[in-house]
């Protein structure tokens, strides 16, 4: 299936940019995400969904070569793992808070 916008409206399909133009953006995202961990993501003003959208834009807007596609897939996997770790940490924090509240109630009784 060919990527691009649907041509149902009669408009010209949007042309994807050449792969060499994606390289700078790809390197930037690799740099940012190589230093990203759960602590950064919890305190970040930009959620992992923002970075996932940026990575997805690369795939959608550029005519990537196979090596770049592999790098994009690696970034997507890293973001998925980070998101899963954040969800697990949030669940743990919620359980921990609930247990702590229960301890306070029992101590007060």
Digit-coded pLDDT (tens) for 3-58? 444 455 555 567 999 999 999 999 999 998 888 765 555 566 778 889 999 999 99
Instruction: Work out the average pLDDT over 68-87.
Output: 91
Q: Which residue shows structure tokens 């700078």?
A: 24
Q: Is the pTM of this model over 0.75?
A: no
Strand partners, 63: 18
Whole-number Å distance between alpha carbons of 74 and 69: 9
């Amino acid at each position: 299936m060919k990527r691009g916008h649907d041509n149902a409206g009669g408009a010209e399909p949007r042309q994807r940019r050449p792969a060499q133009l994606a390289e700078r953006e790809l390197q930037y995202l690799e740099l940012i995400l190589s230093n990203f961990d759960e602590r950064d993501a919890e305190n970040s003003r930009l959620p992992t969904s923002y970075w996932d959208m940026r990575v997805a834009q690369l795939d959608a807007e550029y005519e990537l070569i196979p090596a770049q596609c592999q790098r994009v897939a690696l970034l997507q996997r890293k973001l998925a793992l980070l998101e899963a770790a954040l969800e697990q940490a949030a669940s743990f924090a919620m359980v921990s808070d609930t247990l702590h509240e229960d301890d306070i109630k029992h101590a007060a009784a």
